[in-house]
């Protein structure tokens, strides 16, 4: 079977990535480029257009995008970018589809990265994964059972916008890569001969990359910046944990590349801010996919979207055929069944219901509704019993005699002439049901059979037969249960004249 290829695109505040690969996260080709903020959204779109020409889109099934900002996942429009001008209101989904002729799915980049990590990265062993990206901004994504959790449009897990005080300072303001860059620039300006200044050496882009090296040289300024950032992050993270209580928190983005020192420091400081009932809190782990988290997640997103779209026509057809099955229920015969139940109630007859497998479950359900719901509306209850429910008795009868006799031998203990036997079977040929109906006929019971399109022996034996003209087990069993509900609700909703 040919595997579907997808294109994954990451549009961030500092980098643009485009990959081609499979839905299992396998990357076949990858391109990465630093984003020029001065070129704005127009420049990024030109780069995307140029990159896409390098891929053979005729071999690709769809495109998935992780965008650095709030998006409308239904329309594929960008709400805004907090980092790059020119994206607000842009119809990215439509633009990509017109450009390539391929279907596209658009998501927030933190959601997509979270999906990548939860399916093929650090979080793959967990069911509730909170991913936080510490990049040019601070974003978050929550994955539950390998699916993205979505809030209302356009919001998601906007952890970066958690307010740290009443003045409006956000977690992103103090813990993003750009925020750390600004702190380092200020420190270098104050001490141009210090360790940080020497390590940066005039490079005015992504100064945070030098923070780890400065810590290794025991730079006190770097230590202060690091301590403030990790403490602020632990404080902000505690709010998310108290609300969401994930199993694991995965840290991604550029700052996560600092490695174990970041993981250990946040794990330690987080304890100060968690309530004791949550101690020690979720595991704090670093991204395994690192810079490939969004591209891999975009491929997974495409695969999930394709599978969902494949299922929708099947489900729609299933419902259509199910409706046709229900609409074909012979209502005159159902009315006759209800009259038989009225007669049995008036004469205080016992009603024995039974079946195998799914029909056994229907029998139990029917007796529950008849014995309680319908009976509650009457002056005295129906005397009804599901004889497929006593497993010890059935296994004893099947073991000591024969499985074909598990119902008929129970009837021998309880049933008398005039009682009702009510059997349900899709095939109509189950030997134990046939044996019970034969026993009932022999001993003067009124026998009823609900069967499927094959009819079977039960249709030839029973006094009243209702056929659902289908051989699909699910639809026939559902139709049988619908008939049982019709019978019960005729009494529950007082549609029956009991005079």
Looking at the domain assignment, is residue 336 inside a domain? yes
Q: What is the pLDDT of residue 203?
A: 62
pLDDT at 122 over 80: yes
Query: Mean of the per-residue pLDDT values for the chain?
Result: 92
pLDDT at 206 over 70: no
Q: Stretch 330-340: mean pLDDT, rounded? A: 97
Q: What is the pLDDT of residue 210?
A: 85
Looking at the structure, tell me whether residues 103 and 163 fall in a common domain. Answer: no
CATH code of residue 41? 3.30.420.40
Looking at the domain assignment, is residue 114 inside a domain? no
Looking at the structure, tell me whether residues 171 and 316 fall in a common domain. Answer: no
pLDDT at 154 over 70: no
Looking at the structure, tell me whether residues 69 and 162 fall in a common domain. Answer: no
User: pLDDT grade, residue 204 (50/70/90)?
Assistant: low
- Nearest-angstrom CA–CA distance, 205 and 201: 11
What per-residue string of b and e applies to 445-483 under the rule 16 or more CB within 10 Å gives b? bbbbbbbbbbbbbbbebbeebbbbebebeebbbbbbbbb
Looking at the structure, tell me whether residues 207 and 282 fall in a common domain. Answer: yes
Looking at the domain assignment, is residue 137 inside a domain? yes
Looking at the structure, tell me whether residues 403 and 459 fall in a common domain. Answer: yes
Last residue of a domain, one of 326, 349, 373: 326
Q: Stretch 36-63: mean pLDDT, rounded? A: 87
User: pLDDT grade, residue 107 (50/70/90)?
Assistant: very high
Q: Stretch 232-250: mean pLDDT, rounded? A: 95
pLDDT at 145 over 60: yes
Last residue of a domain, one of 288, 307, 338: 288
* pLDDT per position as a tens digit, 397-429: 999 999 999 999 999 999 999 999 999 999 999
User: pLDDT grade, residue 265 (50/70/90)?
Assistant: very high
Looking at the structure, tell me whether residues 200 and 130 fall in a common domain. Answer: yes
pLDDT at 69 over 90: no
* pLDDT per position as a tens digit, 459-475: 999 999 999 999 999 99
Q: Stretch 130-155: mean pLDDT, rounded? A: 89
The sheet carrying 420-425 orders its strands as 383-386, 350-355, 420-425, 446-451, 464-467
Q: Stretch 102-115: mean pLDDT, rounded? A: 94
User: pLDDT grade, residue 202 (50/70/90)?
Assistant: low
CB 488 within 8 A of CB 374: yes
Q: What is the pLDDT of residue 92?
A: 96
Ranking 35-44, 100-109, 203-212 by mean pLDDT, the lowest is 203-212
Looking at the domain assignment, is residue 450 inside a domain? yes
User: pLDDT grade, residue 200 (50/70/90)?
Assistant: confident
CB 232 within 8 A of CB 122: no
CATH code of residue 430? 3.40.50.10490
* pLDDT per position as a tens digit, 91-102: 999 999 999 999
Looking at the structure, tell me whether residues 184 and 259 fall in a common domain. Answer: yes
Looking at the structure, tell me whether residues 14 and 85 fall in a common domain. Answer: yes
Tally of domains within the chain: 3
Looking at the structure, tell me whether residues 96 and 135 fall in a common domain. Answer: no
Looking at the structure, tell me whether residues 134 and 276 fall in a common domain. Answer: yes
Looking at the structure, tell me whether residues 186 and 308 fall in a common domain. Answer: no
Helix and strand counts by DSSP (H, E) for the chain: 17, 17
The count of other CB atoms within 10 Å of the CB of residue 136 is 25
Q: Stretch 192-212: mean pLDDT, rounded? A: 76
- Nearest-angstrom CA–CA distance, 267 and 230: 10
- Nearest-angstrom CA–CA distance, 299 and 30: 12
Looking at the domain assignment, is residue 113 inside a domain? no
Looking at the domain assignment, is residue 115 inside a domain? no
User: pLDDT grade, residue 120 (50/70/90)?
Assistant: very high
* pLDDT per position as a tens digit, 282-322: 999 999 999 899 999 999 999 998 877 777 788 889 999 99
Ranking 198-202, 299-303, 329-333 by mean pLDDT, the lowest is 198-202
pLDDT at 33 over 80: yes
Looking at the structure, tell me whether residues 431 and 454 fall in a common domain. Answer: yes
Looking at the domain assignment, is residue 102 inside a domain? yes
Looking at the domain assignment, is residue 62 inside a domain? yes
Residue 239 belongs to domain spanning: 122-288
Helix axes 293-327, 473-492, angle to 10 degrees: 60
């Amino acid at each position: 079977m040919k595997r579907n290829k997808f294109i994954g695109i990451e549009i961030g505040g500092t980098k643009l990535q485009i990959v081609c690969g499979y839905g299992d996260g396998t990357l076949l080709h990858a391109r990465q480029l630093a984003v020029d903020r001065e070129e704005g959204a127009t420049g990024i779109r030109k780069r995307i257009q140029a990159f896409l020409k390098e891929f053979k889109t005729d071999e690709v099934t769809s495109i998935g995008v992780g965008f650095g900002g709030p998006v409308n996942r239904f329309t594929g429009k960008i709400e805004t970018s907090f980092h790059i001008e020119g994206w607000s209101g842009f119809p990215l989904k439509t633009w990509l589809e017109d450009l390539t002729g391929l279907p596209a799915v658009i998501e927030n980049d933190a959601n997509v990265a979270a999906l990548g990590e939860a399916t093929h990265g650090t979080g793959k062993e967990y069911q509730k994964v909170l991913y936080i990206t510490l990049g040019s901004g601070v974003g978050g994504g929550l994955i539950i059972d390998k699916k993205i959790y979505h809030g209302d449009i356009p919001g998601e897990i906007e952890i970066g916008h958690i307010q740290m005080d009443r003045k409006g300072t956000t977690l992103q303001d103090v813990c993003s890569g750009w925020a750390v860059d600004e702190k380092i620039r200020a420190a270098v300006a104050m001490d141009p001969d210090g360790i940080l200044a020497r390590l940066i050496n005039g490079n005015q882009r992504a100064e945070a990359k030098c923070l780890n090296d400065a810590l290794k040289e025991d730079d006190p300024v770097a230590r202060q910046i690091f301590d403030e950032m990790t403490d602020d992050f632990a404080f902000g993270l505690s709010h998310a944990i108290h609300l969401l209580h994930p199993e694991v928190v995965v840290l991604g983005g550029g700052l996560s590349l600092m490695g174990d020192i970041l993981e250990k420091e946040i794990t330690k400081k987080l304890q100060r801010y968690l309530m004791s009932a949550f101690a020690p809190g979720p595991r704090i782990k670093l991204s395994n996919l690192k810079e490939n988290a969004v591209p891999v997640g975009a491929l997974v997103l495409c695969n999930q979207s394709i599978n969902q779209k494949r299922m929708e026509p099947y489900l729609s057809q299933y419902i259509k055929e199910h409706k046709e099955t229900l609409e074909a229920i012979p209502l005159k015969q159902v009315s006759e069944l209800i009259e038989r139940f009225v007669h049995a109630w008036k004469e205080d007859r016992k009603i024995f219901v039974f079946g195998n497998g799914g029909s056994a479950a229907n029998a139990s359900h029917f007796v529950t509704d008849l014995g309680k719901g319908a009976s509650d509306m009457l002056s005295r209850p129906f005397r009804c019993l599901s004889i497929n429910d006593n497993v010890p008795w059935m296994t004893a009868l099947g073991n000591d005699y024969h499985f074909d006799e598990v119902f008929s031998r129970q009837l021998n203990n309880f049933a008398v002439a005039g009682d009702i036997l009510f059997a349900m079977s899709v095939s109509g040929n189950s030997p134990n049901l046939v044996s019970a109906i034969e026993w009932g006929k022999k001993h003067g019971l009124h026998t009823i059979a609900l069967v499927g399109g094959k009819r079977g022996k039960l249709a030839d034996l029973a006094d009243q037969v209702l056929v659902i003209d289908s051989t699909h087990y699910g639809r026939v069993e559902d139709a049988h249960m619908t008939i049982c509900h019709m019978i019960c609700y005729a009494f529950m909703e007082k549609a029956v004249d009991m005079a």
